[in-house]
Chain A
């Protein structure tokens, strides 16, 4: 279906559960002469987790930034719950963003705020209907959910990388999003912490039934948390399917990536 038609259909109202929450249609993006995304197309429905794998510099993080509207594609469209992020006005963009939770690669916690205030940040700006005590309770619940009880008053610089990721995850979940975007959630973590983060993502996905995209290099993590895997090379999706589909593939790049078979 052409982008314009998808856009028309999607913009006609709030996307139903049967429709994909995220539609990426023929997205291209270049930085100078370097094309990092070259006609990327996929979709993600609620309850699904798509792991996007690929070599460094293949535009995986750029794809997430396009989805959240931090960058615009050169062509193609990212339709988020019916909103074309590149063409949306400020109000529509803000409405779409409140439906998304984004965990940045290095957590991107606000270093001048405590853990509690970091998690409360989206609530403070988007939930004027909640009282201060309701917000505090919500923050406590979220931090309990990610296993960080008792760390409310700590500054981000005083907690470990794994804990920072958990705080980032709690912040991403603060507004009860429909879409969860995770940029390398296990990068830089030891295997035990990575496993804990994976379990946490699985638990949250089970509880909240979000449409999730996880950008990762970690094949074990992708196998654990993803319902589908998209493998990217040179800005294109080489293969998309279950882990078993990838294993059955006789594409050379897929084999190299999965088995380090050179």
Chain B
């Protein structure tokens, strides 16, 4: 009996993680370049931009406001005990207002928008990609980078500082409410005490840095969505990847931007 030599089936080569990492950034760079060049070329998609601004901005407002308010309450309750223990109770309004406006409001808004909008854009564009809707747009001689990506990225960039303002305002208001329920203090006095000796430069850069968060969330969500292949599983992966990566990059950007703001506005 002759024996047939057994040939092991060839295994697909495992991709080099460094090559995958570099390839991702390369493709992301090309994507951003296409979006930028399409965005600055007329005609402009104002209608779609305002529709996205409503979708991303107005519809995120209740969630962002609730999160901002909750942060204000938690900060008021947590810091009161510590400040009372060290005899610095008078600093409570300042602590709440600085914490909310300089860091808590922006980062909470960033993470909430990463979750809500990042997943939404990622899944929507991924579904459009796998059902050939993006190809249909391109076949209609309409640039999908302009119509789908540029409008969403710009809407995220514009909406983020506005949402941050709302979150911070709710945080301060709810912080005051939590504080005044324990020890009554008028809102005017709370605000006066909190902002005493502060300048616009203390609050404007932290609020407007969130435009960068918006840029990051919009870019990553659009990039992830538009390159999706492979049916329902692909759509699910795109939504998850979009949220994970945009949250991660928002946190990284926060570290870098805080340092930059401290350098530029010492």
Tell me the A residues contacting B by CB distance below 8 Å.
Answer: 65, 68, 70, 90, 93-95, 97-98, 100, 102, 104-106, 108-112, 121-122, 125-126, 128, 171
**Those of B102-152 within 8 Å (CB) of chain A:** 124, 127-128, 131-133, 135-143
Q: Indicate which residue in B127, B136, B141 contacts A104 across the interface (CB closer than 8 Å).
A: B136
Contact of A97 among B43, B127, B128, B140 (CB under 8 A): B140
What is the count of residue pairs linking A and B with beta-carbon distances less than 8 angstroms? 52
Alpha-carbon distance between A105 and B139 when the two chains are bound, in angstroms: 14
B residues with a Cβ closer than 8 A to A are: 43, 124, 127-128, 131-133, 135-143
Is the beta-carbon distance between B139 and A100 smaller than 8 angstroms? yes
Q: 9 tightest A-B contacts by CB?
A: A97-B141, A108-B136, A108-B132, A94-B141, A102-B139, A98-B141, A125-B142, A68-B139, A122-B140
User: Which of the residues B124, B131, B141, B142 comes within 8 Å of A108, measured between beta carbons?
Assistant: B131
Q: How far is the CA of A256 from the CA of B63 in the complex (A)?
A: 62
Give the Cβ gap from B136 to chain A, nearest Cβ, in Å: 4
Contacts of A102 in B (CB 8 A): 136, 139
Q: Are A70 and B133 in contact (CB under 8 A)?
A: no
Smallest CB-CB separation from A94: which chain B residue?
A: B141
Cα-based distance from A105 to B136 in the complex (angstroms): 11
The reply to whether B141 and A125 form a contact with Cβ atoms under 8 Å apart is yes
| CB nearest neighbor in A for B132 | A108
Closest to B139 in A: A102
- Looking across the interface, which residue of chain A has its beta carbon closest to that of B135? A70
Known: A110-B136, A122-B142. 10 other contacts (CB 8 A): A90-B143, A97-B139, A97-B141, A102-B139, A104-B135, A110-B137, A111-B128, A125-B140, A125-B142, A171-B140
Q: Which residue of B lies closest to A95 (CB)?
A: B141
A3 to chain B, nearest CB (A): 23
Closest to B127 in A: A111
Bound complex: CA A90 to CA B145 (Å): 13
Closest Cβ–Cβ distance, residue B216 to chain A (whole Å): 25
A111 touches B139 (CB 8 A): no
Chain A residues whose C-beta falls within 8 Å of the C-beta of B137 in the assembled complex:
110
Contacts A104-B132, A106-B131, A108-B131 given: A70-B142 contact, CB under 8 Å? no
Task: Find chain B residues with CB under 8 A from A110 CB.
Answer: 128, 133, 136-137
Q: Say which residue of B127, B133, B141 sits within 8 Å of A126 (CB atoms).
A: B141
| Chain A contacts for B139, CB-based, 8 A | 68, 70, 97, 100, 102, 104
